[in-house]
Structure 1
Amino acid sequence: MDSASTDGLTDLEFVEAPSDLVPGIYEGGLKTWECSIDLAERLSQLVGPDPGRSLRNKRIIEAATSGSISIHLQDYNDLVFRLVTLPNMILTWYMSPASSAFRTKSSETDTDDDADPLPPVDTSVAGELPISPALVSSFMKSLKEYDIELRFFSGSWETFNLQQTGGKYDIVITSETIYRTDSLPSLLDLMWKACTGVEDSELDKLTQQQLAINSSEEYPGRKESESSLCVVAAKLVYFGVGGGVVEFERAVENGTPSDVRRSRGQVETIWRREEGVKRNVMQIHWN
């Protein structure tokens, strides 16, 4: 696929670059970080044994119409979606029962000896999945049949506009995004808006109310009216970058000088790894 360059670098040059992070240009999205796996494992427990039923009618952002599942994904770089996210979603679909009709039809109609064979539906066996027009068409058809909407948004967190995406989300998840303290205000602002549905036009009305809140006040636990699930996975400390869990918890619970309008919240650690690289999965309860 031909692609536009980012700051003079092509997609392949970014893939082969020695650095995992170029601040303001590339934010590490081409790599699978440990906490992403932690988040996936914890999320499977949080949504229950029947995720298809649990997520029905839900809007998800890795921060709709009746009966649908809307999944919105955001990353700083669009090349992450083209090279990693979408190919992995197609591969996940191919390895699931949802692709059985495509696989059956392909095996019955494929008479071209030069055509790339489809790999077995077995994650323990190495293989390559050829991305053909027929496969893409079947993937899109399957999304429609299961009433799943996928949307991809690239850019900084400040550019994510909830007025254009439909407002409040039911599930907001993020992983390995708290590594820099100077980016926490914009991240928390997006997470809070996505969980509450509060728009910028409404924030001014809340400013005086928020200024009156004592930052040392103890907040109550999760309210019955709280409906959005907000989960963050991160390393305890990001050495050499400045961020970490302690700084994140402080920003959520006490706020920062630049976000006096945002409601505060509580951070609940729902999973912790103590061995090796220390990692947490946290659930955020907004007040």
Structure 2
Amino acid sequence: MFKFNFDVEAESSSDLEAVKSPFVDKKKHSEELEANEIQIIEWYQAERVKPIDNLIPTLDFYELNAKEREVGKARIRHLVAGFLLEDIKAQTHLDIKKAEESHSDLIAGVYEGGAKIWECTDDLLTYLAGKYEDDTFWKGKRVLDLGCGSGLLGIYAIKMGAQVDFQDYNKDVLEYITYPNILLNVDETLADEQKLEFLENKTSLYAGDWSHFAVLTKDLDKYDLILTSETIYNIDNQEKLLETFAGRLKPDGIVLVAAKSHYFGVGGGMEQFTDKIKLGKVFQTENVWQAEENLKRGILQLKFKES
């Protein structure tokens, strides 16, 4: 079992969490504060997200525009985000629309790339299908697809028999992409009301910042497995990510992080992230998969250190 070093006397600081967290480099944090290098971003509060009212009526349209892929024993169907963009652009309040108009996959504090299926998601799906192909691994497991975007990792876990929750920063990603993708993969023979019952009773979707999500769900059952892909690119958010792992993972659970070796322009990457984990002395890590071609990519496994 892990233990946080929270017995440190709080120093005079505008960010007490930075003093408490075992994952923060306090010297570097202090230097950044003095240099005023930290951009103040108002991150979205966490909330549980319900399906939009017209989800079921538009399901037939989604069926006609779905793509299918085989992942081990599972067949996964999902939307191709491109065909949704015209509809999304008509919704003036959506963060996806703001990102599309800015020709950007990332807008700090506004949009975090959830409409795109990133390369490392495919890596992690392939790894899961090979490593945990036996259905018995998944039965009874509680799984979190963290930073889920299209939700393919969580959908694969559902197809294999796990109970899965999904989290993404943007509410509209969950409403317009994740929820439809989940419904595309439930039993096709279910009536409409049964599909809605499945969404209500078998899964939960959460939007908002990771630190707020961890607080919102702190009294709920923890997870046997946390899956996350392409979520370590922003160094400033890595502490929140690690705190979420620590707060929401069962003592004997595992986390699988799929990521690139380096994210140009933002500084994050697998080696840098591993160093940050070691700083916290909470998790033990193992590189369980790596690709050498083009830009290096890998999968990192985290477990709590034994006391």
> Same fold judged by TM-score > 0.5?
yes
Would the alpha carbon gap of residues 270 and 6 (structure 1) be closer, same or farther in structure 2, given more than 3 Å must change?
A: farther
**Contact kept in structure 1, 2:287 and 2:301, CA below 8 Å:** yes
Paired residue type of 1:269: N
Paired residue type of 1:284: L
Aligned equivalents of 2:92 and 2:242: distance in 1? 27
Match of 1:61 in 2: 144
Would the alpha carbon gap of residues 7 and 83 (structure 1) be closer, same or farther in structure 2, given more than 3 Å must change?
A: closer
Q: CA deviation at 1:138?
A: 4.4
Match of 1:76 in 2: 169
Match of 2:57 in 1: none
**Contact kept in structure 1, 2:96 and 2:111, CA below 8 Å:** no
Match of 2:289 in 1: 271
Paired residue type of 1:194: R
Residues 73-108 of structure 1 show CA distances to partners (whole Å, capped at 9, x for unaligned) of 111101111121111122233xxxx32x35xxxxxx
Q: Which runs of 5+ in 2 are unaligned?
A: 1-53, 55-86, 147-160
The answer to whether structure 1 residue 32 and structure 2 residue 32 are counterparts is no
Structure 1 segment 95-114 matched on structure 2, within 5 A? 98-99=187-188, 101-102=189-190
Q: CA deviation at 1:192?
A: 1.4
1:188 counterpart (242, 248, 256): 242
Match of 2:196 in 1: 140
Aligned equivalents of 1:44 and 1:280: distance in 2? 16
Q: Which moved more, 1:184-193 or 1:148-157?
A: 148-157
Aligned equivalents of 1:151 and 1:15: distance in 2? 27
Aligned equivalents of 2:100 and 2:172: distance in 1? 10
Paired residue type of 1:137: E
Aligned equivalents of 1:162 and 1:170: distance in 2? 19
Aligned to 1:275, the other structure's residue is in SS state coil
Q: CA deviation at 1:168?
A: 2.0
How big is the alpha-carbon RMSD for the aligned residues of Structure 1 and Structure 2? 2.9
Structure 1 segment 1-287 matched on structure 2, within 5 A? 11-15=96-100, 17-50=102-135, 53-63=136-146, 69-93=162-186, 98-99=187-188, 101-102=189-190, 136-140=192-196, 143=198, 149-160=202-213, 161=215, 163-164=217-218, 166-196=220-250, 227-255=252-280, 263-287=281-305
Aligned to 2:113, the other structure's residue is in SS state coil
The number of equivalent residue pairs is: 204
Aligned to 1:166, the other structure's residue is in SS state coil
Q: Which runs of 5+ in 1 are unaligned?
A: 103-133, 197-225, 256-262
Aligned equivalents of 1:81 and 1:87: distance in 2? 9
Match of 2:70 in 1: none
Match of 1:106 in 2: none
TM-score if structure 1 supplies the norm length? 0.63
**Contact kept in structure 2, 1:71 and 1:148, CA below 8 Å:** no
Match of 1:205 in 2: none
Paired residue type of 1:275: E
TM-score if structure 2 supplies the norm length? 0.59
Q: CA deviation at 1:45?
A: 2.7
Greater strand fraction, Structure 1 or Structure 2: 2
* 4+ long deviations beyond 3 Å: 5-17, 162-165
